[in-house]
Chains A and B, each alone.
Chain A
């Protein structure tokens, strides 16, 4: 008997049109839980490092987390894994919404896609039945439009549909997979789906999902709900409203954008507008949001409401949005919220990543202004900023003209354009565009997170430790009072002593050993979430979440029947972390790739930075190249990884 998971994967070979329901090995659950963990194992076992992202051998995995679909609040994540066209590395992009639980109820833990279909198709998965259906009639349709057509032709108004738009069909390297309330946007998973000629996956299920120890499990769920109610009533004081509560940043609910618009940078991640947030702007943007936002929305079985349905105007289909995508187009184009929400509707239909796409368009505008791209490259390029963005979006998703170059993202476009264009791609880590943020003083915690976060975004490694010290000692003391989330009391002490100015402030505080622990803790929480399928919004991302390292072992055990205590969960998570890293090392990741954008901070400290990275590698049990030592790998039962890395000369054999 399997608990929390179904014990079956759906293997689809699109080249041959072959579909198989494959039982999974319960030992893999014991070793890696599910989601990201078992995805990483599958990529390691089945996708050799020579595999090109666009090769039929590349897999596209939709892996639900181990607890996805159980009654635990916000356990709804599907982790999409493939080799990224943009980074050529192991990609994992998480989506919430309703897809994962439907897949479990339909009887599968993962969908594993390989090969390429000779023509455009979509997949329909329901209890005991899987069909590959022609999708020629959906070619060129938007992500939401195709989802709607599919639901209608199947007569299944409640099927969850994950689909690609023009961007995915045309293999734009930052194409997303859209799923209505959520999307897998980062690292170009949509391009791989398009390359496989798979337009969409629709799923609906009505099978039972069992939990191992029902009474205990539901008690933990009820406790979490109680705590969520408590947190909703008690936002954290002394931090910005968007991060004072639970969930992802409450961009859809909160109108005050002073912090983002004045601290984040505009255009091609360059221009800081310090007095931007004037009362007229606030009033206009608030009015825009209230006019276009029809309702705040949750994901499956979650009491938070991080998303919103946006209705641009009655003629256009509305769409769903969350988080900072609210502002990326607006700020990229130096425009206003009305424009940002309008173009985001088109961009969502086309299916593009809302960080990389506007950044790439702003990059093109800057190159044009500086004469590196000319009218010869961009015939008919409009004058007005907003028109330019629509023009560029259209070219990119069709890969027409200059759009074909830009569709690879700023890093690769910079290389292809030449003439110094690569200098304009200044906001990437590992060839992926980052949040548009440029700051003054190096922050050691963020330095390590930017360097070593193997996910695409800082938001997917940061979280439970406050981003900055509070103004006063009293506030800090009050904060640590009810902070049982920390692994141990040292974290409270580090926070208490942290100061905004003076001796115990950044960059020299927290000290290196404390910095390593803080970073490691935050990262660990994300890796746990991504393996069990809990949304970071109730666990690794916000301050003081309902789920943490002390109650998750019990939740996972009661749900799945595994016997996990805290030490075992920490170890298992280290195993998953090292396996993700090994996948990337094997594909060429090196220490040289582990650095933040050069201009991320004005004040840099090369010596300190080197010490930090050395210290963190050592803390992680990695050698000075950032490769896990044999000892580390063997302790985690990853001997086969050590053997492989040695064979490839990535890990020097220890005599």
Chain B
């Protein structure tokens, strides 16, 4: 079973980026408290990896926080240009300074400029007159939640393996936690 949901995408064209940092500027200003009261690219949820003499310009968005760094690293070469280690990764990762509040070290994450009222498009996109960043919304079909019968099957499988007592215990614990969080 599938349902409709909105997928928000920012299309990044690195060939059009020229490293002006307008996206960093406006993102950090938008997220300042109060809004726009200060600017500081180090607090932006988008950073531009730029090496003009090597013709490298990569806008990268802040993604999920991760407690542990990857076991390995990647390093891309595209069209003869060697990109820095982990260049395209969005993670807020212990191995680098990217996407951390300068003073507290707390992770930053792109929230697509969530605000009330909703903006027409994310601000980094609006301020990028080079069109390196283009916003796109599309509807996609997502898996619908499984039917109750399917859940029964799953639980039974768990009970077979661990015994009902343990499964009930876990369900109680989790529902308490969920109640706290919601």
Once the chains are docked, how many angstroms separate the CA of A228 from the CA of B128?
12
Once the chains are docked, how many angstroms separate the CA of A144 from the CA of B102?
29
**Other-chain contact of B127, A144, A211, A225 (Cβ < 8 Å):** A225
Stretch at the interface among B47-55, B58-66, B155-163: B47-55
List, sorted by A's number, 8 A–B pairs whose CB atoms are closer than 8 Å: A206-B40, A208-B32, A211-B36, A296-B18, A297-B19, A303-B20, A305-B130, A311-B55
- Check A217 for interface membership: any CB of B closer than 8 A: yes
**Total count of chain A residues near the partner, CB < 8 A:** 45
- Check B172 for interface membership: any CB of A closer than 8 A: no
- Check B173 for interface membership: any CB of A closer than 8 A: no
- Check A301 for interface membership: any CB of B closer than 8 A: yes
Contacts of A232 in B (CB 8 A): 129
- The residues of A with any CB-CB pair to B shorter than 8 Å are 69-71, 73, 98, 105, 127, 144, 148, 157-158, 180-181, 205-211, 214-215, 217-218, 225, 228-229, 232, 294-303, 305, 309, 311, 317-320
Stretch at the interface among B22-30, B70-78, B174-182: B22-30
Contacts of B117 in A (CB 8 A): none
Given contacts A225-B127, A232-B129, A295-B55, contact A215 B20 (CB under 8 A): no
**Other-chain contact of B20, A148, A205, A210, A298 (Cβ < 8 Å):** A298
Once the chains are docked, how many angstroms separate the CA of A579 from the CA of B127?
37
Cβ contact within 8 Å between B129 and A228: yes
Cβ contact within 8 Å between B21 and A214: no
- Check B39 for interface membership: any CB of A closer than 8 A: yes
Once the chains are docked, how many angstroms separate the CA of A305 from the CA of B22?
13
Cβ contact within 8 Å between A208 and B40: yes
Given contacts A218-B29, A298-B20, contact A209 B40 (CB under 8 A): yes
Cβ contact within 8 Å between B55 and A229: no
Cβ contact within 8 Å between A71 and B52: no
Once the chains are docked, how many angstroms separate the CA of A210 from the CA of B36?
9
Cβ contact within 8 Å between A157 and B39: no
Given contacts A158-B50, A301-B22, contact A229 B129 (CB under 8 A): yes
**Other-chain contact of A207, B25, B51, B102 (Cβ < 8 Å):** B102
Cβ contact within 8 Å between B52 and A309: yes
Once the chains are docked, how many angstroms separate the CA of A225 from the CA of B128?
10
- Check B37 for interface membership: any CB of A closer than 8 A: yes
**Other-chain contact of A302, B20, B40, B52 (Cβ < 8 Å):** B20
Closest approach, in angstroms, between the C-beta of A69 and any C-beta of chain B? 7
Given contacts A71-B25, A225-B127, A225-B129, contact A217 B36 (CB under 8 A): yes
Closest approach, in angstroms, between the C-beta of B39 and any C-beta of chain A? 5
The residue of chain A having its C-beta at the shortest distance from the C-beta of B35 within the complex is A214
Contacts of A318 in B (CB 8 A): 53, 55
Cβ contact within 8 Å between B19 and A298: yes
Once the chains are docked, how many angstroms separate the CA of A214 from the CA of B42?
19
Cβ contact within 8 Å between B41 and A303: no
Contacts of B50 in A (CB 8 A): 158
